[in-house]
């Protein structure tokens, strides 16, 4: 007989053998015993946690001739033969390769035929999220009202991709990730059964690398058990060498040199790792994981032992590494390393990327300079609005504003200048006609200018709404470009007593623009910007009016008449 992989050889054959899913198996067993078997089930969870195994056990259990405790007996004729080729009572379908509407129509035609051996015919559709939209639609009616002898079991790793119409027709069971301790226990049981000796530390490491997936851990174990020599015990060092990874003590020494700023020591340690055949990318991942552990120990204290599953002595060792280092530096290092690790996917210079990253980690100031681009000093008003950006992260590049929005702003500025000349004054916050015409289509230069609070004040202490509006548009071009277009179709009015109003026309476009401004995030941004530009605290209203002086250049200036609707936050 051909060799069976460990994860297939030790696939659970009854509910009691399923590891880490006690609640799910208990519910299914009770349904079988009480005769309350549903017509459609959905098992969702990460790969390798038992979705398909539970589906097959359930399919055998509901057809078993001698079912007493909810488990299949695995001894009767039905249990022994129902999964054999040629018996069509349990049909397993791969949703990734049978994803079209034609395959689902074929299922619809076959469900009318009764089972040949047991009581139920069971369709197990694995990776069901891969079905097309048309296939889902074709399945709906059959899934909702199948024949009484049909049970559908759907399995998926991405339930969010399933239509709500499918989810609402199924009993959903979330298969939980398996804990590292449970995986390690299963590995130890398998090693005892096959007669292989392995260090407990090596078992725990394989369970950790399984990443909550029993199948991944057993696939790794299947490779590791063949590195043993005669009857010798497989050690932790053997497993690390096989996987191209390094011991945690070596990673700890590397981190200590990084914290101390010893660039020579860091590169020498990394060189030794490479010469020992360690994989640069895996070492990078181990470094990120170790820094994460140090940060968790520093920030959570004694709770870190339960969070990380480590002993008190290991927690103390991690705490010693980060004792004199601020938390902020660890946050920056982890963010930086994650960013750099993404480069390894697209480059053949993995060792060079890791070396450069290690050198930058040794110098916190150099790390900040590489991540944050130096910018010229900006006015205080602009600095306040940019204070919310995350320190140590690259600034978001300015995007070009829509062409029609910049043209509208130019037209508005020219109207303001004409009105100012007619009144015998020149607004201080508006550029000359020549400068306005020279504004680039992207609006970047306009966004770089600021409207000081003095420019929005009149001689009698009132508010110059034209200048205040111009400053608001410039701020939106820099930070909230989606607001530029709605602002083009409204008028800013001063209602007295520190009250401002944005007035929109009562037509379809005006209502749509006002709807955008009603969103809490957008409204708060506009209100905060107006208060900063005006140097005062204003109450802001949004109003719909019958007629309005529109900001759009294609419309003429009119005076507002009757107000129909008002909205205030």
Q: Within 13 Å and on the Cβ side, how many CA atoms surround 179?
A: 10
pLDDT per residue over 379-394, tens digit each? Answer: 554 444 444 444 444 4
> How many helices (H) and strands (E) are present in the chain, helices listed first?
27, 9
User: Could you tell me if residue 428 is inside a domain?
Assistant: yes
State how far Cα 71 lies from the chain centre. Answer: 38
Taking CB atoms within 8 Å and a gap of at least 24, the contacts of 239-243 are 239/202, 239/205, 239/206, 240/205, 241/276, 241/277, 243/209, 243/282
| pLDDT, greater one: 149 or 231 | 149
Q: Is 70 exceeded by the pLDDT of residue 318?
A: yes
pLDDT per residue over 507-518, tens digit each? Answer: 888 888 888 888
pLDDT per residue over 255-266, tens digit each? Answer: 999 999 999 999
pLDDT per residue over 33-68, tens digit each? Answer: 999 999 999 999 999 999 999 999 999 999 998 887
Which among 108, 116, 118 is positioned nearest to 37, based on CA atoms? Answer: 118
User: Could you tell me if residue 525 is inside a domain?
Assistant: yes
| pLDDT, greater one: 458 or 426 | 458
Among 165-169, 272-276, 368-372, the range scoring the smallest mean pLDDT is 368-372
* Residue 191 confidence (pLDDT): 93
Residues 432 and 547 in one domain: yes
Q: Is 90 exceeded by the pLDDT of residue 267?
A: yes
Q: Within 13 Å and on the Cβ side, how many CA atoms surround 132?
A: 12
User: Could you tell me if residue 221 is inside a domain?
Assistant: yes
Q: How far is CA 371 from CA 140, 337, 383, in A?
A: 51, 11, 19
* Residue 429 confidence (pLDDT): 38
Which among 223, 204, 219, 206 is positioned nearest to 48, based on CA atoms? Answer: 219
Helix ranges restricted to H, 380-519? 380-386, 403-422, 433-437, 444-448, 465-479, 484-488, 508-518
pLDDT band with cut points at 50, 70 and 90 for residue 325:
confident
171-174 and 490-494 as β-strands: parallel, antiparallel, unpaired?
Answer: unpaired
User: Could you tell me if residue 396 is inside a domain?
Assistant: no
Give the position of tokens 């140590």: 392
481/444 Cα distance (integer angstroms): 12
User: Could you tell me if residue 391 is inside a domain?
Assistant: no
User: Could you tell me if residue 231 is inside a domain?
Assistant: yes
Residues 255 and 362 in one domain: yes
Q: Percentage of the chain with pLDDT > 70?
A: 79
* Tokens, residue 550: 């529109």
Q: What is the mean pLDDT of residues 371-383?
A: 46
Q: Is 90 exceeded by the pLDDT of residue 497?
A: no
User: Could you tell me if residue 542 is inside a domain?
Assistant: yes
Q: Is 70 exceeded by the pLDDT of residue 547?
A: no
CB 370: neighbour CB atoms within 10 A? Answer: 14
Q: Pick the last residue of a domain from 202, 217, 243.
A: 243
* Residue 28 confidence (pLDDT): 94
* Residue 415 confidence (pLDDT): 54
Q: What is the mean pLDDT of residues 202-223?
A: 92
205: domain CATH number is: 1.10.8.60
Q: Pick the last residue of a domain from 174, 195, 212.
A: 174
Q: What are phi and psi of 132, to 5 degrees?
A: -75, 165
* Residue 39 confidence (pLDDT): 93
Q: Is 60 exceeded by the pLDDT of residue 562?
A: no
40-44 and 171-174 as β-strands: parallel, antiparallel, unpaired?
Answer: parallel
DSSP codes of every residue in 260-316: HT-HHHHHHHHHHHHHTT--HHHHHHHHHHHHHHHHHHHHHGGGHHHHHT--HHHHH
Residues 432 and 452 in one domain: yes
Q: How far is CA 480 from CA 216, 256, 403, 526, 536, in A?
A: 45, 43, 15, 9, 22
CA-based radius of gyration for the chain = 34
Which among 271, 277, 307, 313 is positioned nearest to 292, based on CA atoms? Answer: 307
| pLDDT, greater one: 370 or 17 | 17
* Residue 564 confidence (pLDDT): 46
* Residue 425 confidence (pLDDT): 42
* Residue 221 confidence (pLDDT): 93
Q: Is 80 exceeded by the pLDDT of residue 162?
A: yes
CA 225, 226, 232, 238 torsion-angle sign: negative
Q: Percentage of the chain with pLDDT > 90?
A: 36
pLDDT per residue over 401-437, tens digit each? Answer: 444 444 544 455 455 455 445 544 444 333 333 343 3
Provide the residue range defining the domain that includes 527: 403-568
555 secondary structure, DSSP code: S
Q: What is the mean pLDDT of residues 469-484?
A: 85
Q: How many domains does the chain have?
A: 4
Computed over every residue of the chain, the mean pLDDT equals 80
234 secondary structure, DSSP code: B
Residues 514 and 546 in one domain: yes
242/238 Cα distance (integer angstroms): 6
pTM of the predicted structure, to 2 decimals? 0.61
* Residue 563 confidence (pLDDT): 45
Q: What is the mean pLDDT of residues 242-259?
A: 89
* Residue 417 confidence (pLDDT): 52
User: Could you tell me if residue 409 is inside a domain?
Assistant: yes
| pLDDT, greater one: 11 or 512 | 11
Q: What is the mean pLDDT of residues 485-500?
A: 84
Q: Is 90 exceeded by the pLDDT of residue 218?
A: yes
């Amino acid at each position: 007989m051909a060799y069976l992989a460990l994860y297939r050889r030790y696939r659970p054959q009854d509910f009691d053998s399923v590891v880490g899913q006690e609640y799910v198996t208990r519910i299914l067993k009770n349904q079988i015993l009480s005769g309350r078997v549903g017509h459609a089930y959905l098992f969702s969870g990460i790969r390798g946690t038992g979705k398909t195994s539970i589906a097959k056990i359930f399919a055998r259990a509901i057809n078993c001739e001698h079912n007493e405790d909810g488990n299949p007996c695995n001894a009767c004729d039905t249990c022994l033969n129902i999964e054999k080729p040629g018996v069509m009572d349990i049909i397993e379908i791969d949703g990734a390769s049978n994803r079209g509407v034609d395959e689902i129509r074929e299922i619809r035609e076959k469900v009318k035929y009764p089972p040949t051996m047991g009581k139920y015919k069971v369709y197990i559709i694995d990776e069901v999220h891969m079905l097309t939209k048309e296939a889902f639609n074709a399945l709906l009616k059959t899934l909702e009202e199948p024949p009484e002898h049909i049970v559908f079991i759907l399995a998926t790793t991405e339930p969010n991709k399933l239509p709500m119409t499918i989810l609402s027709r199924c009993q959903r069971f979330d298969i939980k990730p398996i804990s590292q301790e449970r995986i390690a226990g299963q590995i130890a049981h398998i090693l005892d059964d096959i007669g292989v000796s392995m260090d407990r530390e090596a078992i725990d490491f394989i369970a950790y690398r399984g990443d909550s997936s029993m199948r991944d851990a057993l696939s790794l174990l299947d490779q590791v058990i063949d590195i043993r020599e005669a009857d010798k015990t497989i050690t932790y060092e053997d497993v690390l060498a096989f996987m191209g990874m390094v011991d945690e003590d070596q990673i700890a020494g590397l981190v200590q040199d990084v914290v101390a700023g010893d660039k020579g020591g860091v590169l020498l340690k990394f060189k030794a790792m490479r010469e020992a055949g360690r994989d640069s990318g895996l070492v990078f991942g181990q470094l990120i994981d170790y820094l994460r552990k140090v940060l968790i120990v520093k920030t959570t204290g004694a709770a870190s032992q339960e969070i990380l599953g480590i002993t008190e002595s290991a927690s103390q060792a991690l705490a010693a590494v980060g004792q004199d280092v601020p938390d902020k530096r660890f946050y920056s290092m982890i963010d930086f390393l994650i960013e750099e690790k993404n480069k390894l996917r697209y480059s053949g210079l993995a060792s060079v990327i890791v070396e450069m990253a290690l050198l930058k980690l040794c110098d916190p100031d150099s790390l900040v300079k590489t991540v944050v681009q130096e910018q010229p000093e900006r006015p205080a008003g602009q600095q306040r609005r940019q204070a919310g950006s995350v320190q140590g992260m690259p600034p978001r590049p300015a995007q070009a504003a829509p062409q029609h929005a910049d043209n509208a702003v130019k037209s508005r500025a020219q109207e303001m200048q004409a009105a100012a000349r007619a009144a015998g004054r020149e607004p201080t916050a508006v550029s000359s006609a020549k400068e306005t015409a020279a504004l680039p289509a992207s609006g970047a230069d306009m966004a770089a200018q600021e409207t000081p609070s003095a420019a929005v004040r009149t001689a009698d202490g009132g508010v110059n709404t034209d200048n205040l509006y111009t400053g608001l548009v410039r701020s939106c071009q820099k930070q909230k470009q989606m607001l530029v277009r709605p602002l083009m179709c409204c008028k800013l009015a001063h209602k007295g007593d520190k009250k401002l109003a944005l007035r929109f026309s009562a037509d379809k476009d005006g209502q749509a623009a006002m709807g955008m401004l009603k969103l809490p995030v957008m409204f708060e941004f506009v209100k905060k910007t107006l208060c900063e530009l005006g140097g005062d605290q204003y109450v802001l209203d949004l109003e719909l009016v019958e007629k309005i002086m529109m900001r759009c250049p294609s419309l003429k200036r009119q005076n507002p008449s009757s107000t129909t609707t008002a909205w205030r936050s």
